Amino acid sequence: MGRAANPGVPGVPGDGSGRLLASRYRLTGRQVATGVAAVDTRSGAAVQLDAVPLPELVTPFDQDRQPVRGDDTAERALVQAAFVAGAVPDHPRLSQVFQVFDEDGYLWVAGEAVPGAPLGAVLERGGPLGPYRAAELAGDLVAALRAVHAVGLVHGNVTADTVLVCDDGTALLGGLAVGAAQEALCGGPGGDTPGAGVPSSPWSPARVRARDARAVVVGEAPERWAPEQRGPGGPAGAVAAVGPAADAWALGALLHRALTGEPLPGADPETPLDALPEAAREPAEAVSGPLGPLVGRLLAADPQARPSLPEVQQEIRELLLRAPEPVNQEAVLAVAALLPGPRRTELPGRSDRAAAADRAVVARQDAHHHAAPRRHAGRLGVVLVTAILLIVTSALVMAALIGK
Protein backbone atom coordinates (compact mmCIF):
# COMPACT_ATOMS: atom_id res chain seq x y z
CA MET A 1 0.00 0.00 0.00
CA GLY A 2 1.91 3.00 -1.28
CA ARG A 3 -0.85 5.47 -0.31
CA ALA A 4 -3.56 5.61 2.28
CA ALA A 5 -6.93 4.15 1.36
CA ASN A 6 -8.41 7.64 1.14
CA PRO A 7 -6.16 9.62 -1.24
CA GLY A 8 -7.35 12.86 0.31
CA VAL A 9 -7.02 13.07 4.08
CA PRO A 10 -7.43 9.68 5.84
CA GLY A 11 -9.78 9.70 8.81
CA VAL A 12 -10.82 13.33 8.27
CA PRO A 13 -14.26 14.33 6.90
CA GLY A 14 -14.24 16.22 3.61
CA ASP A 15 -10.86 17.44 2.46
CA GLY A 16 -9.71 18.05 6.03
CA SER A 17 -8.87 21.69 5.35
CA GLY A 18 -8.45 23.60 8.61
CA ARG A 19 -8.44 20.49 10.80
CA LEU A 20 -5.85 20.52 13.62
CA LEU A 21 -4.00 17.29 14.40
CA ALA A 22 -1.88 16.69 17.53
CA SER A 23 -2.88 20.22 18.61
CA ARG A 24 -0.19 21.42 16.23
CA TYR A 25 -0.57 20.53 12.54
CA ARG A 26 -3.29 22.37 10.60
CA LEU A 27 -4.30 20.55 7.41
CA THR A 28 -4.48 22.47 4.15
CA GLY A 29 -6.57 19.91 2.28
CA ARG A 30 -3.89 19.44 -0.39
CA GLN A 31 -2.29 16.10 -1.18
CA VAL A 32 1.50 16.01 -1.48
CA ALA A 33 3.59 13.00 -2.49
CA THR A 34 2.45 10.08 -0.29
CA GLY A 35 0.62 12.24 2.27
CA VAL A 36 -1.18 15.51 2.88
CA ALA A 37 0.09 19.04 3.36
CA ALA A 38 -0.16 20.83 6.69
CA VAL A 39 1.27 23.83 8.52
CA ASP A 40 3.06 23.51 11.85
CA THR A 41 1.30 26.17 13.93
CA ARG A 42 4.25 26.38 16.33
CA SER A 43 6.90 27.21 13.74
CA GLY A 44 4.84 28.25 10.72
CA ALA A 45 6.72 25.72 8.57
CA ALA A 46 5.06 23.59 5.92
CA VAL A 47 5.06 19.88 6.74
CA GLN A 48 3.88 16.63 5.19
CA LEU A 49 1.69 14.19 7.11
CA ASP A 50 1.64 10.50 6.16
CA ALA A 51 -0.98 8.20 7.67
CA VAL A 52 -0.95 4.47 8.46
CA PRO A 53 -4.27 2.84 9.49
CA LEU A 54 -4.09 1.27 12.96
CA PRO A 55 -6.14 -1.75 14.06
CA GLU A 56 -7.89 0.36 16.72
CA LEU A 57 -7.55 3.68 18.52
CA VAL A 58 -4.65 3.57 20.95
CA THR A 59 -3.14 5.78 23.64
CA PRO A 60 -1.68 9.03 22.16
CA PHE A 61 2.06 8.85 21.72
CA ASP A 62 4.87 10.95 20.31
CA GLN A 63 8.63 10.87 20.35
CA ASP A 64 8.93 13.07 23.44
CA ARG A 65 7.39 10.71 25.97
CA GLN A 66 7.06 7.01 26.75
CA PRO A 67 3.92 5.25 25.48
CA VAL A 68 1.26 4.03 27.86
CA ARG A 69 0.48 0.34 27.60
CA GLY A 70 -2.37 -0.29 25.20
CA ASP A 71 -3.02 -2.52 22.25
CA ASP A 72 0.27 -4.41 21.72
CA THR A 73 0.22 -4.35 17.91
CA ALA A 74 -0.66 -0.69 17.55
CA GLU A 75 1.73 0.29 20.32
CA ARG A 76 4.53 -1.63 18.63
CA ALA A 77 3.85 0.27 15.40
CA LEU A 78 4.06 3.59 17.21
CA VAL A 79 7.22 2.65 19.08
CA GLN A 80 9.02 1.31 16.03
CA ALA A 81 8.11 4.28 13.83
CA ALA A 82 9.41 6.68 16.47
CA PHE A 83 12.48 4.52 17.07
CA VAL A 84 13.67 4.45 13.47
CA ALA A 85 12.94 8.15 13.05
CA GLY A 86 15.24 8.93 15.96
CA ALA A 87 17.87 6.28 15.27
CA VAL A 88 18.97 7.52 11.84
CA PRO A 89 20.99 10.78 11.91
CA ASP A 90 19.99 13.69 9.69
CA HIS A 91 21.16 13.06 6.14
CA PRO A 92 20.76 15.32 3.09
CA ARG A 93 19.23 12.50 1.04
CA LEU A 94 16.80 11.25 3.72
CA SER A 95 13.50 12.96 4.46
CA GLN A 96 13.48 14.27 8.02
CA VAL A 97 10.79 13.13 10.49
CA PHE A 98 9.64 15.58 13.18
CA GLN A 99 7.02 13.63 15.14
CA VAL A 100 5.05 10.38 15.25
CA PHE A 101 1.59 10.33 16.86
CA ASP A 102 -1.81 8.66 16.55
CA GLU A 103 -5.19 10.23 16.11
CA ASP A 104 -8.57 9.01 14.80
CA GLY A 105 -7.30 5.45 14.40
CA TYR A 106 -4.31 6.42 12.26
CA LEU A 107 -0.62 6.60 12.96
CA TRP A 108 0.62 9.93 11.60
CA VAL A 109 4.18 10.76 10.61
CA ALA A 110 4.96 14.47 10.43
CA GLY A 111 7.94 15.21 8.21
CA GLU A 112 9.50 17.92 6.12
CA ALA A 113 7.81 19.19 2.99
CA VAL A 114 10.30 19.57 0.15
CA PRO A 115 9.56 21.03 -3.31
CA GLY A 116 9.58 18.20 -5.80
CA ALA A 117 7.55 15.32 -7.21
CA PRO A 118 7.43 11.55 -6.51
CA LEU A 119 9.47 9.51 -8.95
CA GLY A 120 6.31 7.66 -9.96
CA ALA A 121 4.70 10.93 -11.10
CA VAL A 122 7.85 11.93 -12.99
CA LEU A 123 7.87 8.59 -14.85
CA GLU A 124 4.14 8.77 -15.56
CA ARG A 125 4.49 12.21 -17.07
CA GLY A 126 7.83 11.95 -18.85
CA GLY A 127 8.31 8.23 -19.48
CA PRO A 128 11.42 6.14 -18.73
CA LEU A 129 14.66 7.81 -17.71
CA GLY A 130 17.94 7.61 -19.54
CA PRO A 131 20.62 5.45 -17.92
CA TYR A 132 22.76 8.35 -16.71
CA ARG A 133 19.84 10.24 -15.21
CA ALA A 134 18.70 7.04 -13.48
CA ALA A 135 22.26 6.53 -12.22
CA GLU A 136 22.28 10.02 -10.70
CA LEU A 137 19.12 9.31 -8.73
CA ALA A 138 20.39 5.86 -7.73
CA GLY A 139 23.58 7.43 -6.38
CA ASP A 140 21.51 9.65 -4.07
CA LEU A 141 19.43 6.69 -2.91
CA VAL A 142 22.48 4.53 -2.19
CA ALA A 143 23.86 7.30 0.02
CA ALA A 144 20.55 7.45 1.91
CA LEU A 145 20.35 3.68 2.34
CA ARG A 146 23.91 3.46 3.59
CA ALA A 147 23.01 5.92 6.36
CA VAL A 148 20.10 3.67 7.36
CA HIS A 149 22.18 0.49 7.27
CA ALA A 150 24.97 2.14 9.27
CA VAL A 151 22.73 2.13 12.38
CA GLY A 152 21.68 -1.49 11.89
CA LEU A 153 18.29 -0.90 10.25
CA VAL A 154 16.62 -1.93 7.01
CA HIS A 155 14.66 0.76 5.18
CA GLY A 156 12.11 -1.60 3.64
CA ASN A 157 10.04 1.07 1.87
CA VAL A 158 11.97 2.13 -1.23
CA THR A 159 9.33 2.69 -3.91
CA ALA A 160 8.53 5.08 -6.74
CA ASP A 161 6.18 6.88 -4.33
CA THR A 162 8.64 7.32 -1.44
CA VAL A 163 11.44 8.63 -3.68
CA LEU A 164 11.02 12.37 -4.18
CA VAL A 165 12.75 14.03 -7.11
CA CYS A 166 13.52 17.49 -5.71
CA ASP A 167 13.32 20.70 -7.69
CA ASP A 168 17.13 20.81 -7.90
CA GLY A 169 17.15 17.39 -9.61
CA THR A 170 18.39 15.35 -6.65
CA ALA A 171 16.55 12.44 -4.99
CA LEU A 172 15.23 12.41 -1.43
CA LEU A 173 14.22 9.09 0.16
CA GLY A 174 11.24 9.11 2.53
CA GLY A 175 8.91 6.47 3.96
CA LEU A 176 11.29 5.16 6.64
CA ALA A 177 9.00 5.63 9.67
CA VAL A 178 5.88 4.68 7.69
CA GLY A 179 7.54 1.47 6.51
CA ALA A 180 8.61 0.56 10.05
CA ALA A 181 5.05 1.04 11.32
CA GLN A 182 3.61 -1.09 8.53
CA GLU A 183 6.08 -3.90 9.17
CA ALA A 184 5.25 -3.84 12.89
CA LEU A 185 1.54 -4.16 12.15
CA CYS A 186 2.20 -7.41 10.26
CA GLY A 187 3.38 -9.15 13.46
CA GLY A 188 4.87 -12.60 13.29
CA PRO A 189 8.12 -14.01 14.67
CA GLY A 190 10.84 -11.38 14.78
CA GLY A 191 8.34 -8.59 14.15
CA ASP A 192 9.26 -6.85 17.42
CA THR A 193 12.70 -5.88 16.08
CA PRO A 194 12.58 -2.24 14.92
CA GLY A 195 13.43 -1.79 11.28
CA ALA A 196 13.93 -5.48 10.63
CA GLY A 197 11.19 -5.72 8.02
CA VAL A 198 9.73 -9.16 7.50
CA PRO A 199 10.78 -11.65 10.22
CA SER A 200 14.05 -13.49 9.67
CA SER A 201 12.92 -16.82 11.11
CA PRO A 202 12.40 -19.91 8.90
CA TRP A 203 9.09 -20.13 7.03
CA SER A 204 7.00 -21.42 9.90
CA PRO A 205 3.18 -21.16 9.82
CA ALA A 206 3.50 -17.99 11.95
CA ARG A 207 5.80 -16.39 9.41
CA VAL A 208 3.47 -17.33 6.56
CA ARG A 209 0.60 -15.65 8.43
CA ALA A 210 2.78 -12.57 8.88
CA ARG A 211 3.54 -12.62 5.14
CA ASP A 212 -0.19 -12.78 4.37
CA ALA A 213 -0.84 -9.85 6.71
CA ARG A 214 1.98 -7.94 5.04
CA ALA A 215 0.36 -8.52 1.65
CA VAL A 216 -2.69 -6.65 2.93
CA VAL A 217 -0.78 -3.83 4.65
CA VAL A 218 1.93 -3.29 2.03
CA GLY A 219 0.10 -4.34 -1.12
CA GLU A 220 1.81 -5.51 -4.28
CA ALA A 221 4.52 -2.84 -4.60
CA PRO A 222 7.23 -4.98 -6.26
CA GLU A 223 10.07 -3.01 -4.69
CA ARG A 224 8.92 -4.25 -1.27
CA TRP A 225 8.87 -7.95 -2.17
CA ALA A 226 12.36 -9.34 -2.52
CA PRO A 227 12.43 -13.15 -3.00
CA GLU A 228 13.23 -13.71 0.68
CA GLN A 229 10.10 -11.73 1.60
CA ARG A 230 7.82 -13.50 -0.86
CA GLY A 231 7.51 -16.83 0.87
CA PRO A 232 8.56 -20.48 0.80
CA GLY A 233 9.46 -21.86 -2.58
CA GLY A 234 12.66 -21.47 -4.56
CA PRO A 235 16.22 -21.81 -3.23
CA ALA A 236 16.42 -18.32 -1.70
CA GLY A 237 12.92 -17.85 -0.35
CA ALA A 238 12.95 -20.93 1.84
CA VAL A 239 15.30 -19.87 4.63
CA ALA A 240 16.91 -16.51 3.75
CA ALA A 241 16.75 -13.81 6.39
CA VAL A 242 15.56 -10.32 5.54
CA GLY A 243 18.34 -7.78 5.84
CA PRO A 244 20.04 -4.92 3.97
CA ALA A 245 20.13 -7.03 0.82
CA ALA A 246 16.35 -6.55 0.59
CA ASP A 247 16.99 -2.82 0.12
CA ALA A 248 19.46 -3.67 -2.65
CA TRP A 249 16.71 -5.66 -4.35
CA ALA A 250 14.36 -2.68 -3.94
CA LEU A 251 16.92 -0.41 -5.60
CA GLY A 252 17.21 -2.84 -8.50
CA ALA A 253 13.42 -3.03 -8.85
CA LEU A 254 13.22 0.76 -8.78
CA LEU A 255 15.89 1.08 -11.46
CA HIS A 256 13.99 -1.46 -13.56
CA ARG A 257 10.89 0.73 -13.29
CA ALA A 258 12.83 3.94 -14.01
CA LEU A 259 14.59 2.52 -17.07
CA THR A 260 11.67 0.62 -18.62
CA GLY A 261 8.70 2.63 -17.37
CA GLU A 262 7.09 -0.57 -16.07
CA PRO A 263 7.10 -2.24 -12.63
CA LEU A 264 8.57 -5.68 -12.19
CA PRO A 265 6.22 -8.46 -13.32
CA GLY A 266 4.81 -11.04 -10.95
CA ALA A 267 4.17 -8.67 -8.04
CA ASP A 268 1.65 -10.93 -6.25
CA PRO A 269 3.52 -11.63 -2.98
CA GLU A 270 1.63 -14.86 -2.31
CA THR A 271 3.02 -16.48 -5.46
CA PRO A 272 6.25 -18.37 -4.61
CA LEU A 273 9.31 -17.45 -6.63
CA ASP A 274 9.54 -20.83 -8.35
CA ALA A 275 5.88 -20.61 -9.43
CA LEU A 276 6.33 -17.31 -11.31
CA PRO A 277 6.60 -17.24 -15.12
CA GLU A 278 10.15 -17.31 -16.43
CA ALA A 279 9.94 -13.64 -17.46
CA ALA A 280 9.09 -12.69 -13.89
CA ARG A 281 11.91 -14.81 -12.46
CA GLU A 282 14.45 -13.08 -14.71
CA PRO A 283 13.16 -9.48 -14.77
CA ALA A 284 16.56 -7.91 -15.39
CA GLU A 285 16.53 -9.26 -18.95
CA ALA A 286 14.26 -6.33 -19.86
CA VAL A 287 16.93 -3.78 -18.90
CA SER A 288 19.61 -3.02 -21.45
CA GLY A 289 22.25 -0.34 -21.68
CA PRO A 290 25.06 0.57 -19.29
CA LEU A 291 22.97 -0.06 -16.16
CA GLY A 292 21.70 -3.46 -17.29
CA PRO A 293 24.43 -5.59 -15.66
CA LEU A 294 24.11 -3.76 -12.34
CA VAL A 295 20.32 -4.14 -12.28
CA GLY A 296 20.72 -7.84 -13.02
CA ARG A 297 23.01 -8.33 -10.02
CA LEU A 298 20.78 -6.27 -7.71
CA LEU A 299 17.81 -8.47 -8.64
CA ALA A 300 19.58 -11.75 -7.93
CA ALA A 301 17.27 -14.22 -6.16
CA ASP A 302 19.97 -15.12 -3.64
CA PRO A 303 20.56 -12.18 -1.25
CA GLN A 304 24.21 -13.20 -0.90
CA ALA A 305 24.72 -12.76 -4.66
CA ARG A 306 23.62 -9.11 -4.68
CA PRO A 307 26.34 -6.44 -4.62
CA SER A 308 26.91 -4.42 -1.46
CA LEU A 309 25.87 -0.78 -1.46
CA PRO A 310 29.50 0.47 -1.43
CA GLU A 311 30.09 -1.61 -4.57
CA VAL A 312 26.96 -0.17 -6.16
CA GLN A 313 28.03 3.35 -5.24
CA GLN A 314 31.47 2.88 -6.82
CA GLU A 315 30.00 1.43 -10.01
CA ILE A 316 27.57 4.34 -10.32
CA ARG A 317 30.39 6.86 -9.86
CA GLU A 318 32.42 5.22 -12.61
CA LEU A 319 29.39 5.22 -14.90
CA LEU A 320 28.67 8.91 -14.30
CA LEU A 321 32.26 9.79 -15.14
CA ARG A 322 31.52 8.53 -18.66
CA ALA A 323 28.19 10.39 -18.97
CA PRO A 324 28.12 11.93 -22.49
CA GLU A 325 25.47 14.61 -21.98
CA PRO A 326 24.22 16.98 -19.28
CA VAL A 327 21.08 15.75 -17.56
CA ASN A 328 20.59 17.80 -14.39
CA GLN A 329 18.94 20.80 -16.08
CA GLU A 330 16.48 18.54 -17.90
CA ALA A 331 15.60 16.89 -14.59
CA VAL A 332 14.95 20.23 -12.89
CA LEU A 333 12.61 21.35 -15.68
CA ALA A 334 10.74 18.02 -15.64
CA VAL A 335 10.09 18.25 -11.90
CA ALA A 336 9.22 21.95 -12.07
CA ALA A 337 6.35 21.14 -14.44
CA LEU A 338 4.78 18.94 -11.73
CA LEU A 339 5.03 21.45 -8.88
CA PRO A 340 1.66 22.91 -7.80
CA GLY A 341 2.80 26.49 -7.26
CA PRO A 342 5.76 28.83 -6.78
CA ARG A 343 8.89 26.96 -5.83
CA ARG A 344 10.70 27.76 -2.60
CA THR A 345 14.47 27.89 -2.43
CA GLU A 346 14.70 26.85 1.22
CA LEU A 347 13.83 23.46 2.68
CA PRO A 348 11.49 24.24 5.63
CA GLY A 349 12.16 22.48 8.89
CA ARG A 350 15.54 21.03 8.00
CA SER A 351 18.45 21.40 10.36
CA ASP A 352 21.26 23.83 9.46
CA ARG A 353 23.60 20.89 9.16
CA ALA A 354 21.36 19.05 6.70
CA ALA A 355 20.72 22.22 4.68
CA ALA A 356 24.47 22.89 4.47
CA ALA A 357 25.04 19.30 3.33
CA ASP A 358 22.37 19.77 0.66
CA ARG A 359 24.15 22.85 -0.64
CA ALA A 360 27.42 20.93 -0.70
CA VAL A 361 25.84 18.10 -2.72
CA VAL A 362 24.44 20.57 -5.26
CA ALA A 363 27.81 22.35 -5.48
CA ARG A 364 29.58 19.06 -6.15
CA GLN A 365 27.09 18.21 -8.88
CA ASP A 366 27.51 21.63 -10.49
CA ALA A 367 31.27 21.03 -10.56
CA HIS A 368 30.83 17.64 -12.27
CA HIS A 369 32.16 17.69 -15.81
CA HIS A 370 28.85 16.65 -17.39
CA ALA A 371 26.64 19.03 -15.42
CA ALA A 372 25.25 21.92 -17.44
CA PRO A 373 26.77 25.22 -16.21
CA ARG A 374 24.36 27.87 -15.03
CA ARG A 375 24.28 30.89 -17.26
CA HIS A 376 22.26 34.11 -17.29
CA ALA A 377 20.68 34.90 -20.65
CA GLY A 378 20.70 38.66 -20.03
CA ARG A 379 24.42 38.79 -19.31
CA LEU A 380 25.18 36.59 -22.31
CA GLY A 381 23.24 38.94 -24.60
CA VAL A 382 25.14 41.99 -23.36
CA VAL A 383 28.47 40.26 -23.89
CA LEU A 384 27.55 39.24 -27.46
CA VAL A 385 26.35 42.72 -28.43
CA THR A 386 29.48 44.33 -26.98
CA ALA A 387 31.71 41.89 -28.84
CA ILE A 388 29.93 42.59 -32.14
CA LEU A 389 30.25 46.35 -31.68
CA LEU A 390 33.96 46.02 -30.98
CA ILE A 391 34.47 43.94 -34.12
CA VAL A 392 32.53 46.40 -36.31
CA THR A 393 34.38 49.39 -34.82
CA SER A 394 37.73 47.73 -35.37
CA ALA A 395 36.84 46.98 -38.97
CA LEU A 396 35.83 50.60 -39.64
CA VAL A 397 39.04 51.94 -38.09
CA MET A 398 41.14 49.55 -40.18
CA ALA A 399 39.26 50.56 -43.35
CA ALA A 400 39.85 54.24 -42.61
CA LEU A 401 43.55 53.69 -42.03
CA ILE A 402 43.92 51.70 -45.23
CA GLY A 403 42.04 54.40 -47.18
CA LYS A 404 44.53 57.00 -46.07
Return the closest-CA partner of residue 12 out of 25, 24, 29. 29
pLDDT at position 120 over 60: yes
CA distance 75 to 60: 10
CA distance 37 to 30: 5
At 199, give phi and psi (nearest 5°): -50, 150
Q: What average pLDDT does the structure give for the chain? A: 75
Confidence of residue 101 (pLDDT cuts 50, 70, 90): very high
CATH number of 20-367: 1.10.510.10
> What is the tens place of the pLDDT at every residue in 8-30?
556 555 557 788 999 999 999 88
As separate numbers, helices (DSSP H) first and strands (DSSP E) second, the chain gives 13, 9
pLDDT at position 53 over 70: yes
> What is the tens place of the pLDDT at every residue in 132-152?
999 999 999 999 999 999 998
Which has the minimum average pLDDT: 121-125, 246-250, 279-283, 319-323?
A: 279-283
> Domain limits of the chain?
20-367
The pTM (predicted TM-score) of the whole model is: 0.73
Return the closest-CA partner of residue 244 out of 304, 202, 187, 178. 304
CA distance 203 to 237: 9
> What is the tens place of the pLDDT at every residue in 189-247?
545 555 445 455 667 777 778 788 888 888 888 899 888 888 765 444 445 678 899 99
Q: Which residue has the higher pLDDT, 85 or 377?
A: 85
pLDDT at position 7 over 50: no
Structure confidence at residue 351 (pLDDT): 45
Structure confidence at residue 325 (pLDDT): 61
> What is the tens place of the pLDDT at every residue in 343-371?
343 434 444 444 444 333 333 333 333 33
CA distance 226 to 187: 18
SS (HEC) of 100-134: EEEECCEEEEEEECCCEEEHHHHHHHHCCCCHHHH
Structure confidence at residue 360 (pLDDT): 39
Structure confidence at residue 137 (pLDDT): 96
Q: Which residue has the higher pLDDT, 206 or 270?
A: 206
Instruction: Say how many residues make up the chain.
Output: 404
